[in-house]
Each structure stands twice: as structure tokens, then as C-alpha cells.
Amino acid sequence: MTQAERRLYLIRSLLNEKTEYQSLNVPRDAGEQRKLLRSLMNVRMPKVADEAFLRVQDEYLRQELADEGITDLDDLRPVSGDLYLWQGDMRGHRQRREQRYDGLLHPVPRLHR
């Protein structure tokens, strides 16, 4: 299964869970599909998911992570002192301390090595 097929499978599965979502159209654009999938995952209430869904979700997310890479704290450069500026979408990126940045200046504590 390709990444696009996984994404569509996950979207359709999540849309089918709620009757009010079943009339939504799935965008053709991959970027818009990613936004829709992310939104559906964010609003889904916690409940048991079937094994097939979990397997495809795991494969999809692993591939997204591999494609995007992981941003390490050492990859970032301070703007001033201990202030860092993150530019870009956080999808697939994380720092060692799992701190997320939305294009704003945030202090990042130095990690002890």
C-alpha cells in the first residue's frame, strides 16, 4: 500500500465512524488530505480501533516521520541568547524535550550533556 493509499484508507475509516462526517468530500490534493486526516485524528474521541486501522496508521505515521525527519535541538540555532525561532510546520518534527514552536520566539532550556 502506498502512502497515498494509507492516507485515504485512514481518512475514509475515520469519516465512516461518524454519520455526520460521511457526506464530507475527500480533497484530491495531498496537502489538503493531510490536513483533513490530522483534523479527524484530533477530534476523534478515545475508543477502541480495529487492528487493520492501527496497523495502517502505524505504517503511515512511520513513513511520514521518515520523510520529514526529526529536528534535534542541536539542529537549531539561537536567534539571541537562549531564544530560538522555529519556522515551519511541526508535522513530523520534534525536539528532544518535545517542545513545540509555532513561529514564535520561545526560550529553550539548555540540555545537559
Query: Is residue 95 scored above 50 in pLDDT?
Result: no
- 3-state SS, residue 64: helix
> How do residues 7-20 score in pLDDT, each as one tens digit?
999 999 999 999 99
Binned at pLDDT 50, 70 and 90, residue 30 comes out as very high
Residue 44 has pLDDT above 90, yes or no: yes
What average pLDDT does range 40-54 have in this prediction? 94
Residue 88: pLDDT over 70: no
Averaged over 28-34, what is the pLDDT?
95
H-type alpha helices, 1-113: 3-17, 30-43, 51-68
CA dist., res. 97 & res. 108, Å (int): 9
What pLDDT digit, counting tens, does each position of 56-80 carry? 999 999 999 888 777 777 777 788 8
Report which of 39, 33, 43, 36 is spatially closest to residue 3, judged by C-alpha positions.
33
Angle at 95 between CA 66 and CA 92, to 5 degrees: 30
Q: Quick one: cell of 55?
A: 496497523
Which of 52-56, 72-76, 103-107 holds the top average pLDDT?
Answer: 52-56
3-state secondary structure of 74: helix
Residue where the block lists cell 505515521:
61
Residue 106: its pLDDT value, please?
A: 46
Identify the three-state secondary structure at position 69: coil
Give the C-alpha distances (Å, rounded to integers) separating 107 from 30, 43, 59, 80, 88: 34, 30, 34, 10, 17
